[in-house]
Structure 1
Amino acid sequence: MLQEWGTQLDQEKQARILADINYDSLAMEREENLENRLTSYINALIGITNPKVFDGITDRMVITKDGRTQREFNESVPFWTDDYVAFKQETYIREEKIIEHNIATVAEEQQRAIIREDDIYNDLRAKIGGLEGGSAKAYKTFSEAQSDTANIPANSTVYVTNDGDNTGLYNFDGVAFVKSDYDPVKQSNEFTKASISSLSQNLSEIKKSNEDSSVIPVLVDSQNKILIGYNESKDRIEAGGLQEQVIENFPNLMKSEDTTKVAVLTDSMHKILIGYDTEKDQAIIAGLELPNKKPEVAEVNHFVFDGQSLGIGATATTILSTYQPYFNVTFGTGPRMDSAPVSVIPLVEQFNSPASDGGTDRGETPCSGAANYASRAMMLENGINPKDHVIFCSAAGHGGYRIDQLEKGTTWYEFLLHHVSEAKRLNSGKTYKVQAIAWVQGENDAITGTQTSYELYRQKLEKLQRDANDDIKEITGQVDDIKFISYQLSYAARTWSAQALVQLHLAQESDSFALSTPMYHMPYAPDNIHLTNVGYKWMGAYFGRAYKQLIVDNRKPDFINPKGAQLIGDEIHIHFDVPKAPLVLDTTTLAPTTDSGFKVLVNDASATISSITAENDKVIIKISSTPAASASVKVRYALDYLGAGISITGGASGNLRDSTTDSIKIAGVERPLYHVCPHFELTAFTDKGI
């Protein structure tokens, strides 16, 4: 009997499951209740059939967990048949109602769609009818439309595209033009304002929960406390208290291997994307350590060239830059301040003899090329009106001077400071600061007979930057530091490379130095030392781009950065940071050079190069044989060979450049501003396992 009941119960349960595959949450609850009660019933039956338990005991004995007696339980047994039938009926009724409701809803929506389509169709027909006999015409100005009414049919739509307040959509009824109230530009502006207002409101709600309402949140915690934000009043990224807040709120926070950096967000390799540098007290965004403060822009922003003859236009007596296209200025006696200045004039070049350093062949300096290119770039790339960033550009260098003749304590160091004090005096009544110094020097430290060592030249150049920074800030009262933007000399790169390598390494390793360009692709004067007037203006454009990136974009200026070389069998793989990939081996616009300028040394002996290829951000050099595991392997670029047709005293060149498409027209010819690879030397490493 027990088995029969159990079988019957299983059949009923199976029937229930098959009948209600799509049961709702209420059905699931009822089924669970049913199963529990059936289980209790079966357990009771098992108990009843056990003679050791119920033999000689009355039916008042409690046999269930909920306290029911045998009799009470037996009386409840029929529940599952009656309740189950009722439950099934309720389920069917509910499902029918749902289906009926859905059908009705779909029908209603279909009807509404039909009505909408009819309305749209009728509206379009009405508008088309209104245009019958007319046409659509466009004119640049409203006066042009008025003068052409003889050719405009009645009921035509007329667009005026570029006429100030007259710009817009008109209807011509055959006699007069009636302007439409619809103005897409106005509506777009109103939408933008509304969106910004909504965003500002959302930000203000977050800012209300923070102590400093001047800080716009970038990263907040669950209580809306700012972890990283932008301080409007101080114009800088702030992460005050970030270390304590993050460690308190995120005890399992992933850190980089550098324990001085706290990570807020990392990638799968644990590289910090957003974080905080505890030593420098600054935020890290996308792996970049952001400066605390963007350089302030004054009413007059001084960009000073310092160094020797290539910074003051030696031999370029024919002037190219005779007018000022923007709002840049200089001394009334020329960028070199060839005599005592009494005024500030628009920046143009001058030939004065003698010049400030006593030379008689000083003409086109890099100043006009630099300042004007910077103005153009910030206008085109940043939307900045050049009149809002006026550059005062001057050239304080001295031809033929070594670095020890330009350092602090010398007469010509005082002349650099004199440029600053005079520029400030002549611009009294305006805010004034020095933004950067362009460093154009090294030839007389690399010349035969001098050849200043790498260590001494680097020491003196770093000290000169520190001294100039401190002394100029004392004159101007500015807070921002003055950084050096250096060229990399190509003169003597083959015979004495120390100065060229110092200039590269400081740009790689110091925040106080940047690199504008090497010089081997510039046009040199017949003396093979100086540049032509085109060369000075072209070089100036490179400095101008670097100035814009450093001061306006607030970042390290771009240059091709050789990072490392790896020996893999008979191949050397050289990796670069590239402003715009891919790298290119160019023998068309760059003078063809032996092995494209590369040289490989194995144990200081020149190796035979079989092939050189450039791909993306890497150069692969294949040599004739695989070096021994213990061999010393070095790769050099633009330190050993000079390209065909180039004349640079002691110089060297190469053919590696990036794919940057910037250019500028000088003397009627478009000149490329791609980045050419700097002179460098790297020791190749090998993978030796662990």
Structure 2
Amino acid sequence: MALNNTGNPVPSASPLDRADNTLIFDELVTAQNKDEVPSRLGDPLKTWHKIQKGIEEQLIAGGHIFSDEPTGRAAVENDQYFFSQSADPNVSKTLWKRLSISESEFIANDPSALPFELLKPSENDAQEYAWVLVDENGRAAIGVKDDGTFEAFSLAIGSSETGALTPELAQKYAWAIIDSDGRVAIGVRRDGSFEAANLSGRSAISSVPGLYTHQLNFIINAGQSLGEGSDGAITTTQEYDNVGFPARSLNPSSYLPLTVANTQVGTRGESPMYGTLGHIKQLILQESGLAYPQNDYQLLTANNCYGGTPIVDLSKGGATGAYEQSISQIESGTLIALNEGRSFTLQAVTWTQGERDIVDGTLRDDYLASLLALQRDYNEDAKLVTGQFNDVVLITYQTCREGSQETVASAQLAASEISPHIFLACPTYQLSFYDFQHIDAASSKVLGGYYGLVYKRVIIDQKEWEPLKPIGSACVGSAIDLFFNKSGLTLDVTNIPLQPNYGFSVVDALGDALTISAVRIISPNRVRLEVASPAQPEWRVRYGWNNAQDRSDAFTGGCGNLRDSQGDSLTYEGFPLHNWCVIFEYEV
């Protein structure tokens, strides 16, 4: 089919140009006899076939390895990472970070390729093995036969069998090879990481835990004013290798270093998206030991938020066109990554919206239906564009604005409980507000840090995530016990001023309030409420249904004092990332 060749400049909304782009994209992906395909304006683009031929060489080549640390330090700038050769025969290269012209910080050693090398089979083994891992004397350690069987020393397995594992090992490993004493020689943990015991007296081999499937990973920042940005800029220089499209861009042709100046709407300041990407990279470094030059896993974002806008206008076909901007950015990211020889996917949408719908009186069930539909639309449309298999997750906050408890706040929590692809990161009452519904710049970055934590846990670590909430109850005389899904519970009156009954209330079947005489934590995950009489059917415990009292900032919405202790060991930008209890209503 011939192209229309309109010659229209970029960007173009012409249906003829979109038709041309579809044909060009199809040829880029499927052509096996071409190295390049011209764009609709005649610029040469590499085909996926060409990229595949060169990708192995690119991966093996890696970055430049300097002869020693001083030489590498002289060749780079402050805060840049570099590799140098090592004098240690057991270390192939060393990663450094330049601190100044005279000093570098040691980051990590890469293990030596010796005494084992991954080799194509020799002539003698060619008929038996597809590849084999041998020592310097040619003795096989592990190998894969042509029929797909994995072989290790004297034990061969053809499938992932766990029947021989003890119950204790089966909880830890998906499969493993064990010796006669039950010690694991080689195995795959249930989090997907590979582990091998000490071989020939050398250091143990262990892959870095985590799932890093794609090279360019898109995270869309969607919502209204709290997502759009606050009143001051913090991220004024690029963090790690994070990049972004210009805000609200349609069919962008390139991405930029992720800074407020490059990627923000007008004069807006800090947006949660900067903290989202920054904290993901920080967690990868802190928890997995991977500095970003070592990890071919780049993060890309775009700010597609519109202040004062209801969910319907931000959804597919909505009045703002925000959803369509996002889809055009997915298309652009796919083509840009393809031309760079890299894989691309839409991993997540962060959702910071709900205040407008509270003002407009949107009903709980209507908001819930819209939020579930929004995630489904992003998931389906992204897969049509990128061809990805991974599902797109939606990470939301819980709005705590006054009047939200029965409507939007409840719907956001319900969505996270209904959909396996929607995750509620945190409420917002623990943040600092400069007016009754807007958070300051530092809190905007911290909110992004919460989003980044959920992303790391769900997408990279492949773990379950829930916010702090009740999961069961029991009545003991006139006491009501609530069981929570996290331990280390604390009633914090330091970070949040003491609220009436620490934010808890109890109502009867008619909705009338009952008197609470005491609230206390009686075990690491259990809160006891003392009421005047034994609980009756249809009594409900509420949390955060009050209006905040005695705050030092301008916040007036629902809040309480219950949190866990996660932030004792996990902080971002100096802020302890405790899990603060969500606003809820729970029938006992």
Q: 1:583 aligns with which of 473, 480, 489?
A: 489
C-alpha distance 420-553 of structure 1, shift in aligned 2 (>3 A):
same
Q: 2:236 aligns with which of 304, 307, 322?
A: 322
CA-based RMSD of the aligned residues comes to: 3.8
Q: Which residue of 1 aligns with 2:261?
A: 350
Structure of higher CA gyration radius = 1
**What pairs up with 1:127-276 in 2 under 5 angstroms?**
164-165=86-87, 204=151, 213=158, 215-219=159-163
- Which is richer in helix? 1
Preserved contact between residue 371 and residue 391 of structure 1 (Cα < 8 Å): yes
Q: 1:445 aligns with which of 357, 363, 373?
A: 357
Q: Which residue of 2 aligns with 1:435?
A: 347
C-alpha distance 323-569 of structure 1, shift in aligned 2 (>3 A):
same
C-alpha distance 337-566 of structure 1, shift in aligned 2 (>3 A):
same
Gapped regions of structure 1 (runs ≥ 5): 1-140, 144-162, 169-184, 233-282, 284-293, 685-690
Q: 1:556 deviation in Å?
A: 2.3
Counterpart Cα distance in 1 of 2:529 and 2:326: 45
Q: 1:611 aligns with which of 470, 495, 518?
A: 518
Q: Count residues with an aligned counterpart.
A: 419
Amino acid corresponding to residue 299 of structure 1 in structure 2: Q
- Which is richer in strand? 2
Q: Which residue of 1 aligns with 2:228?
A: 312
Q: 1:558 deviation in Å?
A: 4.4
Preserved contact between residue 495 and residue 650 of structure 1 (Cα < 8 Å): no
Q: 1:381 deviation in Å?
A: 1.1
Q: Which residue of 2 aligns with 1:523?
A: 432
Preserved contact between residue 219 and residue 229 of structure 1 (Cα < 8 Å): no
Q: 1:421 deviation in Å?
A: 2.1
Q: 1:352 deviation in Å?
A: 8.0
Q: 2:480 aligns with which of 564, 572, 590?
A: 572
Q: 1:633 deviation in Å?
A: 1.4
Preserved contact between residue 491 and residue 650 of structure 1 (Cα < 8 Å): yes
Preserved contact between residue 636 and residue 682 of structure 1 (Cα < 8 Å): yes
Note the alpha carbon deviations across 1:105-140, whole angstroms, 9 max, x for none.
xxxxxxxxxxxxxxxxxxxxxxxxxxxxxxxxxxxx
C-alpha distance 352-303 of structure 1, shift in aligned 2 (>3 A):
closer
Amino acid corresponding to residue 204 of structure 1 in structure 2: E
Three-state SS of the structure 2 residue aligned to 1:204 is strand
C-alpha distance 186-403 of structure 1, shift in aligned 2 (>3 A):
closer
Q: 1:495 deviation in Å?
A: 5.2
Q: Which residue of 1 aligns with 2:563?
A: 657
Counterpart Cα distance in 2 of 1:510 and 1:207: 47
Counterpart Cα distance in 1 of 2:373 and 2:466: 24
Q: 1:605 deviation in Å?
A: 1.9
Amino acid corresponding to residue 613 of structure 1 in structure 2: R
Three-state SS of the structure 2 residue aligned to 1:545 is helix
Q: 1:442 deviation in Å?
A: 1.0
Q: Which residue of 1 aligns with 2:268?
A: 362
Counterpart Cα distance in 2 of 1:197 and 1:379: 34
Q: 1:338 deviation in Å?
A: 5.9
Preserved contact between residue 613 and residue 621 of structure 1 (Cα < 8 Å): yes
Q: 1:469 deviation in Å?
A: 0.7
Counterpart Cα distance in 2 of 1:512 and 1:352: 27
Note the alpha carbon deviations across 1:508-554, whole angstroms, 9 max, x for none.
332111111110011112x3221111111010100111110111101
Preserved contact between residue 150 and residue 156 of structure 2 (Cα < 8 Å): no
Counterpart Cα distance in 2 of 1:602 and 1:649: 29
Counterpart Cα distance in 2 of 1:528 and 1:338: 30
Q: 1:659 deviation in Å?
A: 1.0
Q: Which residue of 1 aligns with 2:583?
A: 679
Higher relative contact order (CA 8 A, sep 6+): 2
Preserved contact between residue 400 and residue 559 of structure 2 (Cα < 8 Å): yes
Three-state SS of the structure 2 residue aligned to 1:682 is strand
C-alpha distance 300-368 of structure 1, shift in aligned 2 (>3 A):
same
Q: Which residue of 2 aligns with 1:624?
A: 532
Counterpart Cα distance in 2 of 1:600 and 1:586: 20
Note the alpha carbon deviations across 1:640-687, whole angstroms, 9 max, x for none.
231421556661100000011244453xxx211111010111011xxx
Q: Which residue of 2 aligns with 1:544?
A: 452
Q: 2:284 aligns with which of 378, 387, 393?
A: 378
Three-state SS of the structure 2 residue aligned to 1:544 is helix
Note the alpha carbon deviations across 1:226-253, whole angstroms, 9 max, x for none.
9x99699xxxxxxxxxxxxxxxxxxxxx
Q: 1:462 deviation in Å?
A: 0.8
TM-score under structure 1 length normalisation: 0.55
Runs of 4 or more off by more than 4 Å in structure 1? 193-203, 205-210, 228-232, 337-342, 646-650
TM-score under structure 2 length normalisation: 0.64
The question of 1:475 aligning with 2:385 is answered yes
Q: Which residue of 1 aligns with 2:323?
A: 413
Preserved contact between residue 351 and residue 363 of structure 1 (Cα < 8 Å): no
Q: 2:539 aligns with which of 604, 616, 633?
A: 633
Note the alpha carbon deviations across 1:601-626, whole angstroms, 9 max, x for none.
13322121111111201111111333
Identity %: 26
Three-state SS of the structure 1 residue aligned to 2:162 is strand
Q: 1:323 deviation in Å?
A: 1.7
Counterpart Cα distance in 1 of 2:163 and 2:349: 36
Q: 1:348 deviation in Å?
A: 1.5
The question of 1:302 aligning with 2:218 is answered yes
Preserved contact between residue 279 and residue 572 of structure 2 (Cα < 8 Å): no
Counterpart Cα distance in 2 of 1:553 and 1:665: 18
Counterpart Cα distance in 1 of 2:572 and 2:382: 34
